[in-house]
Amino acid sequence: MSLDLTEGSRPIPVVAAASGVAARRRRLLPAFVLLGPVVVFFLAVFIIPVGLMVRYSFLQQMPDGTLSDTFTLANYIRLGAVDLYRNVIITTLRISLFTTIGAMLLAYPLALVIARGPALIGRAITVLVIAPLLVNVVVRAYGWRIILGNGNSGVLNWALSSIGLGPVEILYTEWAVIIGSMQVFLPMMVLPLAAAIGRIDPAVEDAARTLGGSSLAVFRRVTLPLSVPGLGVGCTLVFSLTASSFILPALLGGSFTKMLGTLVEEQILTVFDWPFGAAIATAMVLIVMAINLAYMALIERRFRSRATEAA
């Protein structure tokens, strides 16, 4: 005789519950099997290295090349105490923000054409947006060095000088890093945005137009709010990738524009202070993660309030 478990006044037979669990397990088994390799892969190449990095950040490099045995906060205290590192963090965030805003402004028209324009033109724009991804970022950075070169050797300065507007000094400034980053990371903004716009029912925009909305009003009141999820993904990608980039600030910023990525590389490969490099890297990940989470929370809250208003 089996025992009966009760949930309120309803009796649940044990046999039925057990068979339900078994069925659920059977359903989940393929998912576990499929996810297994990915989980192991990420554990091996991401979680464990990141864990080691965080652990290193609490150690200290000893003069004989070994790491200290005891945990310390010295690296984080140094990070906060020396104004150089505070300035670099601010520079990194400023460049990432400007790059994200710039990419957003450039990406919207492109995404609209991809999602709403004639199919042939949409496909052509998609290819144009994706094509630069086939070229190594170092090659692209060197291309920008030729374009933005100071003096008359730069293509931009040569063009500006020929119409009496130049020369200007852009290479080895923050602007060079922002321009290069916008070009390199633009596809990361365009593609999710185009996908989000593509999911908006055209009938909604048509309805807005039928009600007398101008194109600008339709974009501002309908397309823009409904594409915010894609915008969120794009902004997160562009901001994070810019904040952690190393090649572009190294080649276009000319060491005047230090970012966190270049500092990490310098500490690891030049100074050989792995713990301090790990502390900078950990701080970089935490700051970028915090900003992205805050941004996503803001978007989610805005959506929830809109939904509440609509209800």
Partner 1 sequence: MTTTTPKILSASLSRRRLLKAGAATAAGLAAPSFFVRNAWAAGKTMQIGIWGGVQGEFIRKQVLPAFEKDFDCKVDAQQGSTLGQIALLRAGKEAPKFTVMFVDDLGVEIAKREGLIDPLPRDKMPNLAKVYPRFIYNDGYGVALAISSAGLFYNPQVTKPLESYAELWDPRFARKVSLVGTKTTPSVFTVIIAAAIASGKPYKEAQYLADQAWPKLKELKPNVLNLYSTDDAPLLVAQGQGAIGGPEYSKYVYPYKLKGASIDMCYPKEGAFAGVNCQILVKNAPNADLGAEFMNRMLDPAVQQGLAETALAAPAIGGLSFKPEIAGLLAYPESKMDELGLFSPDWAYVNSVRSSWIENLNQIFTA
- Decide: is 181 part of the binding site for partner 1 (CB under 8 A): no
Provide the β-strand partners of residue 148. Answer: none
C-beta of residue 172 within 8 angstroms of C-beta of residue 150: yes
- Decide: is 96 part of the binding site for partner 1 (CB under 8 A): no
DSSP string, 100-144: HHHHHHHHHHHHHHHHHS-HHHHHHHHHHHHGGGGS-HHHHHHHH
- From CA 281, how far away is CA 232, in angstroms rounded? 24
Q: What radius of gyration, in Å, describes the C-alpha atoms of the chain?
A: 26
- Decide: is 72 part of the binding site for partner 1 (CB under 8 A): no
- From CA 88, how far away is CA 265, in angstroms rounded? 14
- Decide: is 261 part of the binding site for partner 1 (CB under 8 A): no
- From CA 150, how far away is CA 168, in angstroms rounded? 7
- Decide: is 39 part of the binding site for partner 1 (CB under 8 A): no
Beta carbon nearer to partner 1, 21 or 84: 84
Beta carbon nearer to partner 1, 42 or 256: 256
Which of 216, 269, 307, 311 is in the footprint of partner 1 by CB under 8 A?
Answer: 269
- Decide: is 84 part of the binding site for partner 1 (CB under 8 A): yes
- Decide: is 256 part of the binding site for partner 1 (CB under 8 A): yes
- Decide: is 137 part of the binding site for partner 1 (CB under 8 A): no
- Decide: is 212 part of the binding site for partner 1 (CB under 8 A): no
Residues in contact with partner 1 by CB under 8 A are 63-65, 82-84, 87-88, 91, 149-153, 169, 171-174, 250-251, 254-258, 263, 265-266, 269-273
